[in-house]
Amino acid sequence: MVGSIPHGRRLSHGARNILAAVGFTAAAAAHSAITLPAYNVDLSQSSVSGLSSGGFMAAQLHVAYSATFKAGAGIVAGGPFYCAQGSLSTATGPCMAATSTSKPATSTLISTTNSWAGQGVIDPTGNLANSKVYLYSGTIDSTVRQLVMNEARAYYANYVNSANLFYKNNVASEHAMVTDYFGSGCSVKGSPYINNCNFDLAGEILKWIYGSLNPKNTGTLGGSFIEYNQGDFIASPTSHGMANTGWAYVPASCAANQVCRVHVALHGCQQDTTKIQDRYYRNTGYNKWADTNNIIVLYPQTAPSSVGNPNGCWDWWGYDDPNYAKKSGRQMVAIKGMVDKVSSGFVPLPAPAGLVSTGATDSSISLQWNAVSGAAGYNVYRMGTKVNASMVTGTAYTDSGLLPGTSYTYTVRAVTSSGAAGPDSAPVSASTTGNPPPLATPAGLTVNGTTSSSVTLAWGASSGAAGYNVYRNGTKVTASPTAATSYTDNGLAASTTYSYAVSATSSGRESALSAPVSATTKSSFVCTATTSSNYAHVQAGRAHNSGGYALANGSNQNMGLNNTFYTTTLAQTAPGFYIIGNCP
């Protein structure tokens, strides 16, 4: 699958197997190609996947342009971002024919990723946390071994929330794009590098990235294939490893200006259209799901060349551009430009207008709003949290299971058929009927610190509380309820004990007081130490004479004979109280 070897270089048997592996789409007659149209595509729903060299390229696009490919990525028989590190030998070695002692340098790749993100040459890695990533490796893949994809999982685990990362590695497939209806036998390694393994890999990738989808179209597709000019996105495409034209599948709904999303599907080496004609962009399974789920699929195309890229691979080791994995990489810029162009007709849904409360009971509030043109449905939010389990298809909703006599604030967002939500409506507040339940008494009141003039308190949150009142010695000291679960009471007297309790408040209601705690402020006295003769201490009133001995006032510690020959250091730790030694 990997990239091609420069022309004239002698290849090892393993390298020949690797480069013979996967990849095929290109462009057909440039005279029939058009400029890639603009559609009503929500860019925030963009995603990418790829096989082999396309898998490595998909990882590059996903990480470098993480602000664009927010929805997620599918990596099939690829590897971690920047795996080859600009080296062909690293590409064909650790990044493909990995062994336990020679595999991708994942820790180094993570360090490079972080450094590049800090420099701004790739997007911030924080964008990846909520992205969905689907990884696939066949158990008998002899081109890109599972050890490589294991490292891809380790790499992504450093950035992606664990619940968003899925690794499928138990299908006995060779190096190929896997389908459930088309291709060679599952264990075959050979052109067109599309294998029928009774497993719908394209569908599983799209479902993982986008969540629940409509069933795929198992009949005749209703959309259109478009051949577009790639020269609009990269000058002299064939001089840089890309074909003159690429392909796109556009569902009829997207052509009719419905809100859609875009998925970029990247073939592998030896899968361009000069090798396998239209089989990759027609028979890998993506279009069946795209047709019923408002997804435009872009199939950018490579082209073989006699120098550097004879197998038509994507640039994932630097055969065309030393900056191949950064946002400035030529092929990277070209594909990003395709996504930007196809989504340039996006018309975002407006916020729903006219949100009102139409009724209330002790446990429910009914809402209604005006319809939004182009919306497939709506989501309802109570106090910022979505409350409807499934999309609301009408313009009314009843929120149930509420507390009696309680006020709530609501907003509504319009949602497209692809799941993209518009902005919030203006909020509306409404209250349930009946008497409100008593508020829970705050628990866990503790003293977190004291000074000579202050006491700091903390307590546990009470369900339903909007704020809290703090009481000192039975008197409320908070001018208005504090929203926090901590409070510092200032302006207190030193060396004084106080009793505190806390109550919860909400909409004019107040709970019972918590169990009290006591706190004593620290002394305001500043310790001083004096070194002098015992005689001088007695004369100065820091000590007194007793039977010829000097005793420290307060502690009565024996300082020795009361004369000028004995010297002692006394520390005054409180008014009229001295101890032998320095201040503690």
* Residue of 141, 291, 315, 399 with catalytic role: 141
Handedness of CA 300, 65, 236, 322 (dihedral sign): negative
The order of strands in the sheet holding 47-51 is 165-168, 132-136, 72-76, 47-51, 261-266, 295-299, 245-250, 224-229
> Helix, strand or coil for residue 90?
helix
SS3 at position 102 = strand
Residue 199 CB neighbour total at 10 angstroms = 19
Question: Which token pair is 583?
Answer: 């201040």
175 given a catalytic annotation? yes
CB proximity list for 120: less than 8 A, separation 6 or greater: none
375 contact partners, CB below 8 Å, separation of at least 6: 349, 352, 414, 415, 416, 422
- Helices and strands in the chain, H and E counts: 12, 34
Three-state secondary structure call for residue 271: strand
- Which one of the listed residues 175, 240, 263, 267 is annotated catalytic? 175
Distance CA 361, CA 382 (A): 16
Beta bridge partners, 529, equal 571
Alpha-carbon gap, residue 354 to 72, rounded angstroms: 35
424 an active-site residue?
A: no
First to last CA, the chain: 74
Nearest Cα residue to 141 out of 98, 120, 172: 172
Nearest-angstrom CA–CA distance, 298 and 227: 10
CB 245 within 8 A of CB 238: no
**Rounded to whole angstroms, how far apart are CA atoms 222 and 171?**
31
237 close to 338: Cβ distance less than 8 angstroms: no
Q: Is there a catalytic annotation at residue 31? A: no
CA distances to 8, 19, 25, 272, 513 from 279, rounded to whole Å, are 30, 19, 8, 9, 73
Hey, what are 37's tokens? 């149209």
Q: Which amino acid is at 492?
A: L
Residue 438 corresponds to which tokens in the numbers above? Answer: 């008593």
- SS3 for 16-60 is HHHHCCCEECCCCCHHHCECCCCCCECHHHCEEEEECHHHHHHHH
Cβ atoms of residues 305 and 238 within 8 Å: yes
Length of the chain, in residues: 584
Catalytic residue among 4, 47, 49, 52: 52
* DSSP annotation string for 500-532: EEEEEEETTEE-PPPPPEEEEPPP-PPPEEEEE
Q: Which residues are catalytic?
A: 52, 141, 175
